[in-house]
Chains A and B, each alone.
Chain A
Amino acid sequence: MTAPSLAKAPPPARGSALGAPSARRKITDRAVQGLVYLAFALAMIPLVSVLWTVVGHGLSRLDPTFFQFSMNGVGGKDAGGGAYHAIIGTLEQVAITTVIAVPIAVLTAVYLVEYGAGSRLARTISFFVDVMTGIPSIVAGLFVLALWLLAVGFGFSGFAGALALTILMIPTVVRATEEMLKLVPSDLREASYALGVPRWRTICFVVLPTALPGVLTGVMLAVARVMGETAPLLLTIFVTKAINTNPFDGPQASLPTFIWDQAADPNQNSIDRAWTGALVLIGIIMLFNLAARLVARRFKPAGR
């Protein structure tokens, strides 16, 4: 990861029969090698800096108060206050998102791989799933705002936020599930058909269980991704400093919007809270990432 371990690369291939490469070619080769190493090192600077500063600044307010209290009645200048309301909100919103998005996404992937393979509808869906991956998160928020809040007439709520996150979660889970279903050997399917098992039971009890670890990894990565989304939540759950445990009624808080709210206040106490919020958020996200990798490594799909 750091310079010393990168330094020993295998020597460049040499065409012995044709004579050694000229000095100019060697220098070019070395120069490019240097540039490529530099590119990687360059990318590590922000990563290390982000993690370093978040941990460094975040530790100062990482105390029990932070996890036990909301910001209700706490001003920007005041010390104390916490993110209890935000953590509750984030967990509820992400849970609802997962419950809605995963079945839709898995069924879509099943259609793409098992039923529709090659058909025009499947190709269209597949293309739009790709396009959906690129929808800016703020547009997902605006869509829920236009549909759920303005057209249907509901108010700001954690559920509205979950709807926006669902739109962002579906394509990632579809892609992950699709990849995994494709890895399931067709021998397994054929063996099941040969035993007279109907197609849908084959899918439910043979194909999906085989692909399960991979799907689980995909879901966890998707959860980690939507958990850090801020923009769509600003438009759908709005802002509150108080605890609201009911995701279906009234504005809710979430960790990302908590950070956004605190960072907008120039007082040092607020900035400290923002950093600690960032540390907690990044901690949860990294946990999910790590767990996903572990699941992926532990149960490799029975593919080839």
Chain B
Amino acid sequence: MTSDTGVETRVGAQHRAAGRPISTGRIGDKIFLHAARGSGILVLVIMAAIAVFLVWKAIPALQRNEASFLTAQDWDPNATPPKFGIAQLAFGTVMSSLLALLMATPVAIGIALFISFYAPRRLASGLGYVVDLLAAVPSIIYGLWGLLVLAPHMEGISKALNTALGWIPLFGGDSPGKNSIFTAGVVLAIMILPIISSISREVFVQVPRANVEAALALGATRWEMIRLSVLPYGRSGMVGAAMLGLGRAMGETIAVAMVLTFVPGINLHLLEDGGSTFAANIAKSFGEATDTGRGALIASGLVLFVITLVVNMAARAVVARRKEFV
């Protein structure tokens, strides 16, 4: 590109000297445009390649599979004959991320309201930064903290929940433990707080000033103002934010892998030790995986990819739809 620069300037100088129209830099422009557009297209190519290569490398393992991939609960791709299914992984992924979503969304929206409407103006951006720090902590550190600090505390909480709400099957069971899907859900909730709250804040900032002031002028208290003008306006944005959080939670690997103790089979009692998720299973089983084993893990990763893709696209569509109304 440097040589083109030289040519361009020289040509331009000649044109200027001759009093003719100056070069429009067409060659340089063309190269630069192609480089820029090429990079953009590369992004699309990468997305397509992810799907293609995962499918390609998953097929041989799926063909050798002796169990039903969608409904079987065991994960023994290294055995002969290989038998593996994603039922347990899907159950663990959905349950842990739904739990995380239920715990994180109200708190995250509370944080967003706090920073946008309750905190003193001068502190607001600083407080936002503090919440973003939660997102800066890497998942491996949440995993370490979850395993060694949070999990021991969760045992008591799980027992209390089990005693109080044991009549609900999900909270039932005889031996509530600390390395349960519930604990994983709590760790995930902490990890998805910042994304939900920062996107909600973005929405709240855009609430038309006139709506807010109109509500206050009519004598609304601060909460009534929020209920009348902020929440209706921000509803789809908050839904989108929660869905993005859900996508994050489903794909989270290391923290979950460290917190959960693997016990085979679906266990409806979420407070008991055990369970696994797509991502955690990949991280944990990869070390000992044979060829078929790797293929099986890629197949399960493909399912995870498709699920998170759908959730993310839906979330983006919801958030984008709001933008059109602005």
Task: Name the B residues within 8 Å of A6 (CB-CB).
Answer: 118-119
Does any Cβ of B come within 8 Å of A146's Cβ?
A: yes
Contact between A128 and B149, CB atoms less than 8 A apart? no
Complex: A189 Cα to B301 Cα, angstroms: 45
Number of interface residues of B (CB under 8 A): 105
Does any Cβ of A come within 8 Å of B47's Cβ?
A: yes
Complex: A44 Cα to B106 Cα, angstroms: 15
Closest CB of chain B to A191's CB: distance in Å?
16
Q: Chain A at the B interface: mostly helix, strand, loop or mixed?
A: helix
Does any Cβ of B come within 8 Å of A248's Cβ?
A: no
Q: A111 contacts which of B36, B123, B130, B137 (Cβ < 8 Å)?
A: B36
Interface set, chain A 234-256, CB cutoff 8 A to B? 234-235, 239, 256
Q: Interface code A27-64, partner B: CB below 8 Å = 1, 0 otherwise?
A: 01100110111111011101101100110000000000
Does any Cβ of B come within 8 Å of A122's Cβ?
A: yes
With A28-B221, A230-B283, A263-B148 given, name 4 new contacts (CB 8 A).
A39-B114, A134-B308, A198-B24, A285-B138
Contact between A1 and B130, CB atoms less than 8 A apart? yes
Contact between A40 and B46, CB atoms less than 8 A apart? no
B187 nearest in chain A by CB position: A46
Q: A50-B141, A146-B54 are in contact. Are A234 and B283 (CB under 8 A)?
A: yes
Contact between A1 and B127, CB atoms less than 8 A apart? yes
Q: Chain B at the A interface: mostly helix, strand, loop or mixed?
A: helix
Does any Cβ of B come within 8 Å of A162's Cβ?
A: no
Task: Name the B residues within 8 Å of A230 (CB-CB).
Answer: 138-140, 253-254, 283
Closest CB of chain B to A239's CB: distance in Å?
7
Contact between B43 and A134, CB atoms less than 8 A apart? no
B142 nearest in chain A by CB position: A50
Q: A13-B220, A122-B40, A199-B25 are in contact. Are A132 and B47 (CB under 8 A)?
A: yes
Does any Cβ of B come within 8 Å of A93's Cβ?
A: no
Task: Name the B residues within 8 Å of A42 (CB-CB).
Answer: 107
What class of interface size applies to chain A in its complex with B?
35 or more
Complex: A278 Cα to B107 Cα, angstroms: 27
Task: Name the B residues within 8 Å of A116 (CB-CB).
Answer: 37, 40
- Report the 4 A-B pairs with minimum CB-CB distance, sorted nearest first: A15-B219, A198-B25, A228-B138, A136-B251
Complex: A227 Cα to B140 Cα, angstroms: 11
Closest CB of chain A to B115's CB: distance in Å?
8
Q: A12-B222, A142-B298 are in contact. Are A227 and B127 (CB under 8 A)?
A: no
Task: Name the B residues within 8 Å of A129 (CB-CB).
Answer: 43
Contact between A136 and B279, CB atoms less than 8 A apart? yes
7 contacts between A and B (CB under 8 A): A18-B219, A127-B313, A139-B308, A229-B139, A234-B283, A281-B138, A289-B136
Contact between B111 and A29, CB atoms less than 8 A apart? no
Closest CB of chain B to A20's CB: distance in Å?
9
Interface-forming stretch among B26-34, B83-91, B173-181, B266-274? B26-34
Q: A124 contacts which of B44, B144, B145 (Cβ < 8 Å)?
A: B44
Task: Name the A residues within 8 Å of B40 (CB-CB).
Answer: 107-108, 111-112, 116, 121-122, 125
Interface set, chain B 1-55, CB cutoff 8 A to A? 5, 8, 12, 22-26, 28-29, 31-33, 35-44, 46-47, 49-50, 53-54
Task: Name the A residues within 8 Å of B107 (CB-CB).
Answer: 39, 42-43
